[in-house]
Structure 1
Amino acid sequence: MSGWLIITLVLVLNFMAAGHALMYKRDPRTAWAWIVTCLLIPTIGPVLYFLLGINRIRTRAKKLKGEPMLVRKRIRPESDGQGSLYSPPDMAEIPGYLQMDHLSRTISNRPLTSGNSIRVLYNGDQAYPRMLEDIDKAKKCVYLSTFIFDTGNTGRRFISSLAKARKRGVDVRVLLDGIGEFYSWPRAGGYLKQEKVPFARFLPPRMVPLSPFINLRNHRKMLVIDDDTVFTGGMNIGDRHLVDEDKSTGTQDVQFRLAGPVALQMKQVFLEDWAFCTGEPYPGQMDQAKDLSSGDAFCRTITVGPDQDLDKLRMLLTGMISRAVERVSIMTPYFLPSQELIGAMQVAALRGVEINVVLPARNNLPYVHWATRNMLWEILQYGVRVYYQPPPFSHSKLFLVDDVYALIGSANMDPRSLRLNFEMVVEIYSRDLVRTLTEHFQEKISRSKRVRLVDVDSRSIPVRLRDSLCWLFSPYL
C-alpha cells in the first residue's frame, strides 16, 4: 500500500509541475522542455523545475518593495515626470531620435536626463584608481554593488577605502551577490564585517530550507558617490581586470564614470535593491537636484530583471537595431541572442545597415563560445560581420547605433542577461562618446580575425556535435 501511495504522490507531483509549466511559461519551446522533463524524469524533473523554472522574484519584490515601486507612474512622452520638457532642439534634430527615445522611455518609465559628463576608463588599470579616489573624497554616501568582489590586493584596497569612508561618517553600503561572492575565497563579506562596513547579500544560497532562487542573480555593477557621480560598466572588483596585453593576461573591460543628474537614477536603483535584500523601508522617489549638470550627454538608467523588468532588454535591443540607419556595433563576451534579436539583425543587414559583432577569440567559458559558433551562420549568411578579438579575454559590453546612441552597463547578449539576471544598463545620446567608442571598436577590429561563413561550415562532425549540444543548453549557460 505504501508503495502505491509513493507512486501516486510522485505522479501527482509530476503532473502538477507539468501543469504549472503549461499555464505559466510564455515560450512554447520552454514550456515543452519543462513538461517533458517533469513527465519523463520522475521526482528529479519537478525538483529541477521548482529550483530553476519558477520565477518567484516578482511576488517577493511586491512584498518587500511594495506595489507602487514596481508599477511606476507612466511618463508622458513630452514630460520628465515633473511637467517640464526634456527633448532639447539639438537632440530632436538627430534622425530617428524621437522614435528611439519614445521606445526606451516607454520601456523604462524613467526620464532622459540632460547635462551629464562621461569619462571612458579602460581596464582596471584606469578604472580602479579613479574609483578609489572618488571613494576617498566622498562626503555623503558610497554605495557599491558588484557581482564578483575578489579579496586579492585590489579587493582589499577597496575594502580599506570603504572602511575609511565609513569612519569619516559617510553612509557606506555594499551589495554582494549571494553566488558571485563565492568566486573568491575568503569571501568579501567576512572582510567587510570585520571592518564594520554595512553590506547585504542578494538571494544567498541556503540548504535549509532549500533556496529556490539559485538561478536568479544580481549581475549589476555600480558605484554611487554622493548624489552626482557614478561608475558603471561590466567590470567587477578584482585583480583579474588588471591587464598585461604583452603577456595576454588579465581581463579587458570598459568602465564609465558618469557625473550629473543620471547619478540619482542609479542611486535609486541601488536603494531599491538594498530594500529588496534587507527589508528596510525604501526612501521613495528622490527629488532631482537642480545643480548637477556637468556635461552635454543625455542619459537614462534602465533596469533589467526577471521581475517587472522581464524582457525589457530584448525589446530595447530589438527596437534600436530596427531603428538603425547606418551601423550597429556590438561587443560582448557572451553572444547567444534570442530569435527576435537574430531576426532584427538579419533584417537590418538586408536593409544595408553595417552590423559588426566583436567577440573574444578565447572565452573564459568555452562552452558558451562553442554554443555561439552553432548559431553564427544565422547572421553571417545575411551579411552581419563577426570578429574574434585576440587575447587577453575581453569582458566588454558595448552596443552602439549610428553616430549618437550607446548602451553600456552589465548586460551581456545571452539568455542569462536577457531573462535570468538582474542587470542595469545606461543608454546615452552623445556624439562625442559614440565617436570615442567607435574608435575603440575600430582599433579592436583591426587586430581581430573576421569569421566567415565558410569557417563555420567547415567544422568537423565531432566539433559540430559538441557545439550543437552546448547550444541546446544555451538557455541555462
Structure 2
Amino acid sequence: MAKKTFYIIVALFILLLTVAYIGGMFNGLSFESPLLNAVYSFLTLLFRVNVLWIGLVIFLENDNPSRTVAWLLVLVLIPVVGFFLYVLFGRSYRKQKKAEAKILSDSDRMSHAAEVQASLLEYIELPNTENPANRRLMQLLLNNAKAPFSMTNEVTVLTNGLSKFNRLFGAIRRATDHIHLEYFIIKDDRIGNELRELLIEKANEGVKVRLMFDDVGSLTLGKAYINSLKDAGVEVYSFFKVPLPIFSRDLNYRNHRKIVVIDGVIGFVGGLNVGDEYISNSDKFEFWRDTHLEIKGEAVYALQTIFLNDWNYVAGQMVQGAIYYPEVNTTKNSLVQIAASGPDSDWKCILQAYYKMIANAVDKIWLTTPYLVPEESIMMGLKAAALSGVDVKIIIPSQPDHFFVYWASQANIQQLLEAGVKIYRYKNGFIHSKIMIVDRLAATVGTANLDIRSMEINFEVNAFLYDVDVIHRLEEDFVKDLEESVAYELDTYKERGLHRKFLEAMGRLVSPLQ
C-alpha cells in the first residue's frame, strides 16, 4: 500500500511538472502576421489542454502505478513525441467504442454451455481431475472466459513448421464445405503462396473459404496477393484495418490469434504464422522452433466460435448454422478447454489461468516463451513457486527477434535466478513456442506470450490440456529443447558488462508502456 501511495505522489508531481514544462516550451515565439500569432496561440493552447487531458487520463485510467509513472515520464521527457506515443499506444482499449461494438457482435454460442458446466462441474466425472487443482482451473476458465470443456477430442502435438504445414495443407486439400483461417502474419513468400494457391483451388471447387489477417501483423501483404484470392471467390478481410498506421490508435490492439477450422471437424491453433521463416527458411534465423496443435472433436466448436465471432465483426456478417458444428466422429477422449482473451473480454482470462496454474503447482512448472516479460503477479508466482521447492524451468531464446522486448526479458533474469528459477537460453535457432506444463496435470499451448502485450492487450487464444498422454508428449519436446539450451548461472550473470545492464535498463523502462 505504501509503495502504491508513493507511485501516486510521484505521478502527480510528474503531471504538474509536465504541464509547467509544456507551458514553457512555446513561450517567446512570435510571428510578424497577427493572424499567424493568433493561430499559433490557439494551437499552443489546444496542445497544452490536450497534454493536460492525456496526463489526467494516464493518471486515472491505468490501474498499474508503475505503468502510470512510466507514461508520465515519457510525457515530460519527450513531451511532443510522448503525447503522440500515448495517443497511439497507451490508451486502455477495453473502453473504446470498437471493443464495445465487438462485444455486442459476439454470439453466446458457448456461454450457455459454460454456465451449465460451471454449475455441474463438481458432480461430473472427468479424466485426470482427481486433483482438485485441475477442477479449480477448469472452473476459472468456465467463469472468466466462458470456455466450456470437452472430452471427445483427439489432440496431436505438431512440433515445428514443417509438421504443422504438412498436416494443415493435407486437411485443406480434403475440405468439402468450408475453410476458415485467422492469422496474425501472412507473408507473400513460398509457403504463403503455397497456401494461397491451395485456397484458390478449393474455392474453385466450391468450398467456402474465409480468410482473416491482422492488418498490422500482415502489413507487407500486398494487394496482388489479396486480390488474387478475392478474384477466385475467397472472402478476405483484415482485422481492425489501419489505413495510416502511424496516426491510428488501432495500431496497438492486434489480433494475435492463429486459428484454422476446416469443415467444423478439424482445427489448428498454436504459435505458427504463415511464412518461410516459420519453416526455418529465412536469412534471419537458421532454425525456427515452435509448437502447434491439431485438434479433432468437440473442442473445434470453440475454435469455430472464436473465429466466427471475429469474422462476423470485421465482415459485418452473421455467419451461423449447424453446418459449422457437425457431429463429432472421433472416439478419443482428450479433455480440452479453448480460452480466448482480448481487450473485449471482461477478465484477463489467459493471464488469470497462468496465475492459477502457477499457484497450483506442487512439483514442477516447465515453461517456454519467446518473451519473458511477465506481469507482476506472474513474476511473483514464479519466484514464490521456486522458493517453495517447485522445479521451475524456463526456456527463452538466446537471440532477439525484437530488440526492446529481448532486453526487457533479459532484465528479469537475475531476480528469477536469485529465487531459484532455472532459466535456459535456446541455442539451436529461435524458439517461439508458447507452452506451460504444470505437474503433468495440466498444460497450455497457444498464441499468448508471457508478456504484457499478450496478457493484457492483444486478442489471443490458448488451448488448456488435461490429457496425460498429450502432456507427456509436450514434456518430451521440452526435454529435447533443454538439450539444445544452456543454463544461465547466477554468479556469471551478475558479472555481465555495463553495456548489457544499460540495455536491460532500457528494456525494463519500456516494458510497462506496452
Answer yes or no: same fold by TM over 0.5. Answer: yes
- Give the corresponding residue for 2:333: 296
Structure 2 CA distance for partners of 1:141 and 1:286, relative to 1, 3 Å: closer
Q: Which moved more, 1:311-320 or 1:204-213?
A: 204-213
- Where is the helix percentage greater, Structure 1 or Structure 2? 2
More moved, 206-215 vs 193-202 = 206-215
Q: 1:182 is paired with a residue of what secondary structure? A: coil
Q: Distance in 2 between matches of 1:68 and 1:395?
A: 30
- Return the letter of the residue paired with 1:62: E
Please say which of residues 121-130 and 328-337 is displaced more in the overlay.
121-130
| Change over 3 Å in CA distance of 1:188–1:282 after alignment to 2 | same
Q: Distance in 2 between matches of 1:208 and 1:348?
A: 41
String of CA shifts for 1:390-429, please: whole Å, max 9, x gaps.
1221111111111121101111111221122111111011
Deviation at 1:284, TM superposition (A): 8.5
Q: Secondary structure at the match of 2:141?
A: helix
Q: Find 2:413's aligned residue among 366, 376, 400.
A: 376
CA distance in 2, matches of 1:73, 1:230: 20
**Whole-angstrom distance in 2 between the partners of 1:82 and 1:229:** 29
For 2:32, the equivalent position in structure 1 comes to none
Q: Which deviates the most, 88-97 or 61-70?
A: 61-70
Aligned with residue 63 of structure 1, among 93, 98, 101? 101
Number of aligned residue pairs: give it: 475
Residues 152-208 of structure 1: per-residue CA shift (max 9 Å, x gap): 221111111111221222221000110111245677424423433211001222239
**Does the CA contact (< 8 Å) of 1:150 and 1:187 recur in 2?**
no
Work out whether residues 346 and 384 of structure 1, in 8 Å CA contact, stay in contact via their aligned partners in 2. Answer: yes
Q: 1:123 aligned to 160, 176, 182, which one?
A: 160
Distance 2:158 2:298 in 1: 20
Cα distance in structure 2, aligned partners of 1:334 and 1:349: 20
Conservation of the 8 A alpha-carbon contact between 2:187 and 2:221:
yes
Q: Structure 2: any 5+ residue segments left out of the alignment? A: 1-36
Residue 52 of structure 1 corresponds to 89
CA contact (8 A) 1:371 1:467 kept: yes
- Give the 5 Å matches for 1:204-215: 204-207=241-244, 210-215=247-252
1:464 aligns with 2:484: no
1:421 aligns with 2:455: no
Q: Which residue of 2 aligns with 1:109?
A: 146
User: Hey, what's the Cα distance between the residues in 2 that align with 1:248 and 1:8?
Assistant: 50
* 1:196 to 1:324, Cα distance in 2 relative to 1, 3 A: same
SS at match of 1:217: coil
Q: Aligned ranges for residues 405-444 of structure 1 at < 5 Å?
A: 405-444=442-481
8 Å CA contact retained: 2:153, 2:336: yes
Stretch of structure 1 that moved more, 340-349 or 123-132: 123-132
Residue deviations 1:430-449 (CA, integer Å, cap 9, x gap): 10011111111111112311
Distance in structure 1 (CA, Å) of the matches to 2:281 and 2:480: 17
In structure 2, distance between residues paired with 1:454 and 1:324? 27
3-state DSSP class of the match of 1:357?
strand
CA contact (8 A) 2:157 2:292 kept: yes
* 1:353 to partner: Cα distance: 0.9
From 214, 236, 240, the equivalent of 2:273 is 236
SS at match of 2:137: helix
Give the direction of change, closer, same or farther, for the CA distance of 1:169–1:61 in structure 2 (3 Å limit).
Answer: farther
TM-score normalised by the chain length of structure 2: 0.85
Q: Is the 8 A contact 2:264 2:325 kept in 1?
A: no
Does structure 2 conserve the Cα–Cα contact (< 8 Å) formed by 1:178 and 1:204?
A: yes
1:315 aligned residue? 352
Please state if 1:264 is matched with 2:301. Answer: yes
- 1:204 alignment partner AA: K
Cα RMSD (Å)? 2.9
Paired residues of 1:332 and 1:413 also in contact (CA < 8 A): yes
Equivalence map 1:42-441=2 (5 Å): 42-56=79-93, 58-66=96-104, 69=107, 73=111, 79-80=116-117, 87-94=124-131, 96-183=133-220, 188-207=225-244, 210-243=247-280, 249-281=286-318, 283=320, 291-308=328-345, 311-441=348-478
Q: Displacement, 1:69?
A: 4.2
Tell me the SS of whatever aligns to 2:395.
Answer: strand
Q: Hey, what's the Cα distance between the residues in 1 that align with 2:354 and 2:310?
A: 24
Say which SS state the counterpart of residue 196 (structure 1) adopts: coil
Go from structure 1 to structure 2 and tell me whether the alpha carbon gap of 1:111 and 1:445 turns closer, same or farther (over 3 Å shift): same
Shift in Å at residue 11 of structure 1? 1.6
